Structure 1
């Protein structure tokens, strides 16, 4: 055990340098983790849907099609005829409401699983906060087999369904932004990496993102119903999203340095145990960096520059 390791939280957990033996290795030949419970939705297709070719193909086709359509249509394109119908309006409302309810279900389910898992691991051994990290990190006793493998897998699949957000924008005659395209394509690959390699920090993505999506799609549902929502609410949602990236990314990086006590081994072990888990963590953090930049740019354009433009016109 590294000599630089320091006692953390009353000797019940240890903070140390990252496991350098695996941190820079490629995730080659790593077996699939335990999938969702047998008999649950899409459980029989877990291995096939977690093949890297699935998210790579869909993300590439999605980003390419959006890019081609943006270039060929230009600005000021008229909405398609169907987008002007009442049926289209209600289909969009149903889409947003479905994602709102689904996201809330995922968030509550994950929080419940987290609390239950951490409580159970705390009862099984008296090592304080080490049990908390064991509940988050251990593939055998932790959150992975007690909910994350189920909610996380479905959340990964939901990233493909969310492409409909872009379809709706295109149908309305608008051009999807780089932020929109990068966000959706990157989310597919980020969730794939986290679930394919059962990387412990992926719980952050599932919990935080499902919470934000609950609020965001609720806002979209109200807007679709022509219920006026103050602009301050939209600004707050964008601000929360940026905070989610900054805080979530920072919390994910902490997992690199966490060691928890494993009763079955009788010693402290790293939260990250193979190259796949470290790869998924790196991939998610690197994905979040430009995403945060794009969201901050969106925030400035929407709530700073637009206000200045409005004030200039009033004057």
Structure 2
């Protein structure tokens, strides 16, 4: 950061861009668990235990194994489970979708409000312009982590375990759960764990964007479950929104690597990411999103840009078939 240290300190209104500090590329060992949600809040007493890497790895492994075994034992075209043909099952599915829609909306509103308050607060701390914005995002002392992310983000991490019920619903209906769906849910558990465990500033993007998309998606599922007609264009719009979330969110996350904001406490510019754990969390999220983005963009191009009709298009490749199957199930059944 040598070139940055020579800048005039009076120029504290703008964040600066430079190469990331070498420190953040070290292996993330010996990093203390950050301060968790406020004492007395939901699951706060279990925060340290839930930040053990064995928790998401174990749950993701058991989930993936169970899905694989269920797919093999039943095979494609299986009949729905007996319980899945009852009215009670239908009502439980609707209740599940309503709950996740409302929870996602609450998370999106709460995190967005916290973000606005944090940035405004930073602008009152003798900062202006982009420097106040980035200090609000990056500072662990009085930034977004302390003002909401450690609470909303932690609960959002836990919600990734609950969302496996989406897969249970699909299997109960006699349908196959795709490999991409298993990857999607398992990867979300590990990505959110990394972001919260190391208090990585870019994880706010995952929480805000993903909760917004989930609000819209589970609202769609609720309408579908209630047999309320929804235009087919909505399905295309939701898939487009998912892709935009991957591309824009991932790009904004990577930008955190190169940002230095002015810190009035130290009277110098400070890197947004300050330890190897935060960088590891960023890389885990970007690596997780990369194949999802590639596959969904390919599906979008084949389905909506080239406009190939089923009667004239060439046989679908296996990977394309899996993407199409996943995209369809994500909207038509459960994510």
TM category (shorter chain) comes to over 0.9
Number of the residue aligned with 1:81: 82
C-alpha contact 1:182 1:291 (8 A) present in aligned 2? no
- CA drift of 1:121 comes to 0.8
- CA drift of 1:298 comes to 4.6
Number of the residue aligned with 2:2: 2
Number of the residue aligned with 2:150: 149
C-alpha contact 1:249 1:288 (8 A) present in aligned 2? yes
C-alpha contact 1:6 1:14 (8 A) present in aligned 2? no
Number of the residue aligned with 2:173: 172
1:68-114 per-residue CA deviation (whole Å, 9 max, x = no partner) reads: 22223221000000000000000000000000000000000001000
Number of the residue aligned with 1:103: 104
Assess, with a 3 A threshold, how the Cα gap between structure 1 residues 4 and 115 changes in structure 2: closer, same or farther.
closer
1:209-241 per-residue CA deviation (whole Å, 9 max, x = no partner) reads: 000000000000000000111111011001110
Assess, with a 3 A threshold, how the Cα gap between structure 1 residues 305 and 173 changes in structure 2: closer, same or farther.
farther
Q: For the residues of structure 1 that align with 2:290 and 2:189, how far apart are their CA atoms? A: 16
The two structures, once aligned, show a CA RMSD in angstroms of: 2.0
Which secondary structure does the structure 1 equivalent of 2:261 belong to? strand
Q: For the residues of structure 2 that align with 1:304 and 1:16, how far apart are their CA atoms? A: 38
Q: For the residues of structure 2 that align with 1:210 and 1:302, how far apart are their CA atoms? A: 26
Assess, with a 3 A threshold, how the Cα gap between structure 1 residues 147 and 231 changes in structure 2: closer, same or farther.
same
Which residue among 18, 31, 50 is the counterpart of 2:20?
18
Which secondary structure does the structure 1 equivalent of 2:16 belong to? strand
- Residues 130-279 of structure 1 aligned to structure 2 (within 5 Å): 130-279=131-280
Q: For the residues of structure 2 that align with 1:6 and 1:234, how far apart are their CA atoms? A: 52
Structure 1: where are the runs of 5+ without partners?
A: none
Does residue 1:46 correspond to 2:50, yes or no? no
Assess, with a 3 A threshold, how the Cα gap between structure 1 residues 166 and 303 changes in structure 2: closer, same or farther.
farther
1:175-194 per-residue CA deviation (whole Å, 9 max, x = no partner) reads: 01122111100000000000
C-alpha contact 2:12 2:128 (8 A) present in aligned 1? no
C-alpha contact 1:136 1:142 (8 A) present in aligned 2? yes
C-alpha contact 1:5 1:17 (8 A) present in aligned 2? no
- CA drift of 1:3 comes to 2.7
TM-score (norm 2): 0.88
The count of corresponding residues between Structure 1 and Structure 2 is 310
C-alpha contact 1:259 1:271 (8 A) present in aligned 2? yes
- CA drift of 1:292 comes to 1.3
Which secondary structure does the structure 1 equivalent of 2:279 belong to? helix
C-alpha contact 2:199 2:278 (8 A) present in aligned 1? yes
TM-score (norm 1): 0.93
Assess, with a 3 A threshold, how the Cα gap between structure 1 residues 4 and 37 changes in structure 2: closer, same or farther.
closer
